[in-house]
Amino acid sequence: MRALGVAVGSVAILAYPLVFSTPFQQRLGALVLLYAIGASAWNIVGGYAGQVSIGHAVFFGCGAYGALVSYQHLGLAPIAGLPIGVAVAILIAAVIGVPTLRLSGHYFSMATIAVAELVRLVVANTEWLGGAQGLSGPPVPRTLLDLSFTSALPYYYLFVAVLSAIIGLTWWIERSRIGYYLRAIRDSERAARSLGAAAPRYKLYAFILSAALTAVAGALYAVMFGFVDPESGLGILISVKMVIMAALGGAGLLLGPLVGAVILVPLEELSNSLLGGAGAGLTFVAYGAIVMAIARFQPGGILQRVLRLRRKARPAPAVPVAQP
């Protein structure tokens, strides 16, 4: 049954830009996928490991800036700068994670905000990183490797491939020891440690992986949009969107981030076109309200509610009355 659902879903995703083939619709699809990639990356540390990062934009920015710095200063194709972005992201994750993942979760979350802001300020004031103006990519594509396409269609399929890889990786982690340990740590870190799970270390692994994958999302963004500046690459709104999409769809669930992206990205496009500039403020008021509502009523997100309803619909397995 599940396999059928996966097959249908996959066909739908692959066929979407061919069926909905206007430039706007294709671009929207690519955008949904790009955000799903970022949110899925966040999900690894925020959903599975339960460590709530609200400064993940810093890793996104590492990827975006890594790509465009390589182009601007080394003349390389932006995507060739991906390893640099990933490396810096991992370094920053270690600086944040090593001291704070030994302590209660609050320190970690506070540190992610502070470091994200720190990096944004540094970048905005550093000339060779573009300062407040930002950096641009190649104005005309030089080779295919520049990945500079006029249509959104190639990006769409590129992002499908990357998202599938990330979901596949997450699926594999879920089933491995680290996946079990992360879930246990999320439920009770004390108990997990008493059973031999080196909690700080596993949380750090999850954080570093999440940071690296988020950098990938940032590099893809730079490649598609050909531009990044402190606001679009490192701004708090990127962090917010990653968190809200994963949490709304279902943090800690495999497809939660994708569900969240599918719901929120079109909604935001819609509200932008309806309300225009004035709407910008209101959109984030709405985001704040949504985040609060998730926290208050359904921290597990939409998918979790769906799963629970499905479980209720199924008859419960017979449980022996006499409990040991």
Segment 230 to 259, residues that bind other proteins, using CB under 8 A: 236, 240, 243, 247, 251
Q: In the bound complex, what is the minimum distance in angstroms from residue 141's beta carbon to other proteins?
A: 36
Residue nearer to other proteins on the CB measure, 313 or 319: 319
Secondary structure letter of residue 45 according to DSSP: I
Q: In the bound complex, what is the minimum distance in angstroms from residue 1's beta carbon to other proteins?
A: 18
Residue nearer to other proteins on the CB measure, 149 or 183: 183
Please name every residue paired with 228 in a beta bridge, in sequence order, or none if there are none. 135
- Concatenate the DSSP letters of all residues of 250-314 into one string: HTTSTTHHHHHHHHHHHHHHHHHHHHHHHHHHHHHHHHHHHHHHHHHH-TTHHHHHHHHHHHHHS
For other proteins, the binding residues in 150-209 under the rule CB under 8 A are 175-177, 180-181, 183-184, 186-188, 190-199
Q: In the bound complex, what is the minimum distance in angstroms from residue 76's beta carbon to other proteins?
A: 29
Using DSSP, state whether 135 is helix, strand or coil: strand
Q: Select from 17, 46, 66, 138 the one that contacts other proteins (CB under 8 A).
A: 46
Residue nearer to other proteins on the CB measure, 8 or 122: 122
Number of residues that bind other proteins (CB under 8 A): 73
Q: In the bound complex, what is the minimum distance in angstroms from residue 124's beta carbon to other proteins?
A: 9
- Secondary structure in 3-state letters for 177-237: HHHHHHHHHHHCHHHHHHCCCCHHHHHHHHHHHHHHHHHHHHHHHHHHHCEECHHHHHCHH
Q: Select from 109, 153, 154, 307 the one that contacts other proteins (CB under 8 A).
A: 109
Choices 19-27, 29-37, 107-115, 261-269 (CB under 8 A): range interacting with other proteins: 107-115
Contact status: 87 vs other proteins (CB under 8 A): no
Tell the residue number behind the tokens 């269609």, with chain if given: 153
Cα 128–chain centre separation: 27
For other proteins, the binding residues in 277-316 under the rule CB under 8 A are 278, 281-282, 284-285, 287-296, 299
Angle at 162 between CA 160 and CA 165, to 5 degrees: 105
Tell the residue number behind the tokens 């990639």, with chain if given: 37
If phi > 0 it is left, if psi is from -120 to 50 it is alpha, else beta; for residue 226 that is left
Q: In the bound complex, what is the minimum distance in angstroms from residue 103's beta carbon to other proteins?
A: 6
Contact status: 76 vs other proteins (CB under 8 A): no
Contact status: 113 vs other proteins (CB under 8 A): yes
Contact status: 263 vs other proteins (CB under 8 A): no
Contact status: 121 vs other proteins (CB under 8 A): yes
